[in-house]
Amino acid sequence: MAELAGKIYVIGGFGPGTGVNEEYDPLADTWRKRADIPQQVDHAAAVSLEGKLYVIGGFDSSSGPVASVWVYDPLTDSWARKADLPTPRGALGAAVAGKKIYAVGGRGAMGDVGANEVYDPISDTWTARAPMPTPRDHVAVSAVSGKIYVVGGRFTTFARNTGINEEYNPGNDSWTSRASLPTPRSGIASAVVANRMYVFGGEGSEGTFNQNENYHPASDSWKAMPPMPTARHGIGAAAVGNRIFVLAGGPDPGGSQSALNEAFTVPDSDKS
């Protein structure tokens, strides 16, 4: 799931028709069907850059990690294949910094990876950068002020969730440990408004989470925010203006599903 030009795109996932691509218009509160992604995947990462939407990695129908990278052009409603991700993996995260895409973490064929690989859309090439110190999957990844934050996730199973928060600086290719997510959880999603990262939902041995916790990188601090109306995991989150839309996801741990669309309005007090 990713925002592009004020619209939100939800692509792939579990269940029948997992190549589905649906576009949501927050202003009109309407949905429309768009061209399916050619390869059906779940647990992929998605970001938008320069008017295009990129879907990276994921798992195939046999739960095997894939290396595929697809780019969607909303103007032509069409897909194109791009250079493969060097480390095939799913349950990874991705973020944009300096007009490049960073794909971080996830689960490969041999377990969790700390891979940190950067994609240049101009040259259609990938480059390996300093790996994440703590390999994990089902993470939340967002960029704030040119730095990338990899938050939470798990070590192979949601019985081993973590709140680890690691910051990557693309400028000097280095990692720094930051304040941990207060509620360790995995299968989470994040979005950024006014230089704050909001982390939603998740799953664990105790069930699904409705937590909404706000990270302020400038002060390296967390703040509890109003919880989601419906606890769920495997969600997507995207910001449009001062609202964050949290879509789909499972209300029960494991392979459950929903069509929920709930929006959180960021308070003015958190925009300074």
pTM: 0.96
**In the predicted structure, residue 17 carries a pLDDT above the cut 80:** no
Please, what is the average pLDDT of the chain? 96
pLDDT, average across residues 140-151: 98
Report the pLDDT value the prediction gives residue 268, as an integer from 0 to 100: 85
Report the pLDDT value the prediction gives residue 104, as an integer from 0 to 100: 98
Residues paired with 55 in a beta bridge = 46, 70
* Domain assignment of residue 141, given as a range: 2-270
Where does 57-173 show beta strands of DSSP type E? 69-73, 78-82, 93-97, 100-104, 107-108, 111-112, 116-120, 125-128, 140-144, 147-151, 154-155, 157-161, 165-169
pLDDT, average across residues 54-80: 95
**Integer CA distances (angstroms), 60 to 105, 139, 242, 248, in order:** 18, 19, 35, 19
Residue 272 binned pLDDT confidence (cut-offs 50, 70, 90):
low
Residue 154 binned pLDDT confidence (cut-offs 50, 70, 90):
very high
**For residues 56 and 49, is the Cβ–Cβ distance under 8 A?**
no
**In the predicted structure, residue 95 carries a pLDDT above the cut 70:** yes
Residue 15 binned pLDDT confidence (cut-offs 50, 70, 90):
low
Is the pLDDT higher at 1 or at 62? 1
Q: How many domains does the chain fold into? A: 1
- Give per-residue pLDDT as tens, 164-222: 999 999 999 999 999 999 999 999 999 999 999 999 999 999 999 999 999 999 999 99
Instruction: Check which CATH number belongs to the domain holding 50 and give it.
Output: 2.120.10.80
Is the pLDDT higher at 61 or at 148? 148
